[in-house]
Structure 1
Amino acid sequence: MTLELPDDLLTPEAVRDPDAAAAVLRAHDPVHWSPAHRAWLVTRFDDVVAAFRNPALSSDRVRPVMQRRTQPADATHRVLGLISEWMVVTDPPAHTRLRRLAGAAFKQQQIAAMEDRIQALVDELVDAFLADDGTDLVAGVAYPLPAIVIAEMLGAPPRDRDRFREWSDELALVAFGAGGDARPDRHERALRGLEEMAGYFRELVAHRRHDPGGDMLSAMISDGTEQDGLSDDELVGMCALLLFAGHETTTNAIANAVRLLTADPALRDRVRDDPALVNPAVEEALRLVGPIKVLVRWVVEDHELRGHTIRQGERVYLLLCGANRDPERFADPDTVDLARERATHIAFGRGIHACIGAQLARIETRIAVGTLLRRLPGLRVEGDPEYLPTIASRAQTSLPVTHDGVPAGTTR
């Protein structure tokens, strides 16, 4: 009997449990050609890590799609054109310059020094969640938190936070490879959101050029010489990328970590009672149920991998969800091990394209998860998860919970 390999990452089964699909591929065909996606699916840890360093695999993966399109004037093409300028889909030398200027701004923000502010924001959101008898932790905490943080980092007025969240949602309709049941007008909606967002950030850039502050946008404007500093278009693209990547990734990380850690009451209570365990618990959650399932690369040079010829012009899907549970790399890969060596997973990628906001995402997730476990004793997730049908992200549509209330005498 021939084993039927999971070929389509957008089937209901694969969306619900991408780890099981990746495990079958990893065990039986770790470099698998998928006719459904017209891409190679790579699932072994060592192969994925090697791919991050392989110059034959390009991150400049949007422009080739645009070049193949026959309707260059439609909404989809215009959305792709705007996204194609983002740092995350460029290669050196352009990527090197953008990364250097953005990285310097991140350092100036002193991300670690933001912990007190992030803790205050989480406490405010949990206060409101309790006051409103909230039941959905995505809507109440995981979703608004990163949007507020990014808005503040970019120096946007607090009144504009909701607009940030709306734009991020519109971008998610196209950026993560939606399934066939996604809304048919998603590209038109994303284009409207992108154009509105670009206009907003262009005004914010002009304001900060005239009146700089202590925010990250002002730092990006002031970095570099007149010759290599970021142009207005590049600054707008960088703001859009930071908003989208920072919001979606962190929302998913918080929600997925809560679901994982509350599935085992003994583990939940152990982490709640020992603050030192929050950090390793979050790292295990990032490894096991990370916010990104797949990273995409474009093949620019023929090469061999495990007996397969990967040809120029093809796509490669790097399945982080497979690599991070590879038994050749991790002992007992499907279990939460709070003593596991930290940061050996690749939930945030690796190499020159490793997530530039990984430290911020970790801090937000650690503070949010630790606070929720402490302030909502007996926290339980109700029902089975529902995930958005996308190739790249592991995004829960909601996180309905119950809990036993705030312990007597506890306010934080």
Structure 2
Amino acid sequence: MTVPGIDSVDLTTPSASADPFSVFRALREGDPVHWSEAHRAWLITRYDDVSAAFQNKAFSNDRVRPVLERKRQAGAESAATGVLGLMTGWMVVNDPPVHTRLRKLAAGAFKGQRIAAMDEMITRIVDEHLDAFLRGSGPQDLISEVAYPLPATVIATMLGAPPEDRDRFREWSDELALVAFGTGGAARADRHERALRGLREMESYFHTLIGKRRAEPGEDMLSALMAKEGDDRLTDDELVGMCALLLFAGHETTTNSIANSVLALLRHPDQLDRLRRDPALIGPAVEELLRFDGPIKVLNRWVVAETEVRGKTIRPGERVHLVLASANRDPEKFADPDTLDLGRSPNPHVAFGKGIHACIGAQLARMETRIAVARIVERLPGLALAEEPEWKDVLASRSMEKLVVTHS
């Protein structure tokens, strides 16, 4: 189907990265199941179709293994295949029954009461970063000073890692993000080599930490992940994979959630004032901020059986991009979807996915975002945008290079 303006959609161009929502609107209206030559994938953009796709067994989450096998068949053994090989055991890139077993074994560590008990710890860490930020003057980058270091610090603390190792956690997360989200410039050429080095360092570190926790269990999440479920338990390699996944998925996503939320509030001063007048609104406010400009634009799926979506035949071996950021602005699901309304209810957004593969750490990400945004709003009453942000030219995430602000 030929649709004016969307014949060659590339979501990684500077214009589409800066304003993806106009592209999404054109796709939803003109070609909601669109084949993109640039991405060599189907872009599914309407809410109902994205929601249904999460339940469609033709769309597999086992999306790393096929790429790895294709590269190996082509004789392309490299750092890239090394990285992919290490990632194939991760819960989020597997289907049942492997995914079912891993998620069941991990569920105990993510129980609601365990996450809720982290409130005080996360608040303390947020305030430590804001204390340092407030000591500065003039324009400062809220991402590098607050939104970026916060999640890695939280994750390191949760896993029982010593405070002096926090910088290593951030470095490993960065190396993994090079592969998962891509980068521009010279970094792109060696991203797999860097990611492989980081993964191997991280594996060695976590194996050592696991050994210490087996000898001396504590109240940390790693000790909780070691618990048995009946006669089953996670192996050391599976524990390493869980730790890597927690770091990788939790760091990038939460950084983006906090930064995008603050930017949205600064661009909608009426809603920022509303939140300042009614701090108890922070719960539904964060849900609306996640819907309005969430941390993830696209989730990938691998097609394993022929299926049809809105009259388009999608075949095995093809890829599908579920465009969450578009689904969350679909006017067929949300009234005035381009309006930020912190009191919006109901708000069935899909910022963290849906179904059996919904993000297991969503409650933690929500808590970190709620606390961080609430403390920023309270402690930085003179917060103002100092310059327009530059968005990263990446497919999967919705992320800025910097968020430069002033405070008084």
TM class by smaller structure: over 0.9
String of CA shifts for 1:58-88, please: whole Å, max 9, x gaps: 0000000011112442000100111111100
Structure-2 residue corresponding to 1:409 = none
**CA contact 1:87–1:99 (8 Å) conserved in 2:** yes
| Displacement after TM superposition at 1:132 (Å) | 2.9
Structure-1 residue corresponding to 2:50 = 48
Structure-1 residue corresponding to 2:154 = 149
**CA contact 1:179–1:391 (8 Å) conserved in 2:** no
SS in 1 for 2:42: strand
Which of residues 159, 183, 191 is equivalent to 2:188? 183
Tell me the amino acid that sits aligned with residue 137 of structure 1: L
Structure-1 residue corresponding to 2:86 = 82
Q: How does 1:399-410 map to 2 (within 5 A)?
A: 399-404=403-408
Tell me the amino acid that sits aligned with residue 12 of structure 2: L
Tell me the amino acid that sits aligned with residue 60 of structure 2: S
Tell me the amino acid that sits aligned with residue 57 of structure 2: P
Structure-2 residue corresponding to 1:192 = 197
Tell me the percent identity.
63
Which of residues 206, 211, 233 is equivalent to 2:211? 206
TM-score (norm 1): 0.95
Tell me the amino acid that sits aligned with residue 259 of structure 1: L
Which of residues 118, 125, 150 is equivalent to 1:114? 118
| Displacement after TM superposition at 1:378 (Å) | 2.5
Query: Cα gap change, 1:220/1:23 in structure 2, threshold over 3 Å: closer, same or farther?
Result: same
Moved segments of 4+, more than 3 Å: 177-182
In angstroms, what is the RMSD of aligned CA positions? 1.6
String of CA shifts for 1:14-35, please: whole Å, max 9, x gaps: 1111222111111100000011
* 1:21 lines up with 2:23 in the alignment: yes
Tell me the amino acid that sits aligned with residue 165 of structure 2: D
Q: Measure, in 2, the Cα distance between the counterparts of 1:87 and 1:2.
A: 38
| Displacement after TM superposition at 1:339 (Å) | 2.6
* 242-251 or 337-346, larger mean C-alpha shift: 337-346
**CA contact 2:389–2:404 (8 Å) conserved in 1:** no
**CA contact 1:280–1:342 (8 Å) conserved in 2:** no
String of CA shifts for 1:315-335, please: whole Å, max 9, x gaps: 000000110000000000000
TM-score (norm 2): 0.96
* 1:172 lines up with 2:177 in the alignment: yes
Q: Measure, in 2, the Cα distance between the counterparts of 1:10 and 1:181.
A: 17
Structure-2 residue corresponding to 1:408 = none
Q: Measure, in 2, the Cα distance between the counterparts of 1:2 and 1:18.
A: 17
**CA contact 2:289–2:342 (8 Å) conserved in 1:** no
Tell me the amino acid that sits aligned with residue 221 of structure 1: M
Q: How many residues are aligned here?
A: 403
* 1:4 lines up with 2:9 in the alignment: no
**CA contact 2:383–2:407 (8 Å) conserved in 1:** yes
* 1:93 lines up with 2:97 in the alignment: yes
| Displacement after TM superposition at 1:382 (Å) | 2.0
**CA contact 2:304–2:316 (8 Å) conserved in 1:** yes
Which of residues 123, 128, 134 is equivalent to 1:130? 134
* 1:274 lines up with 2:275 in the alignment: no
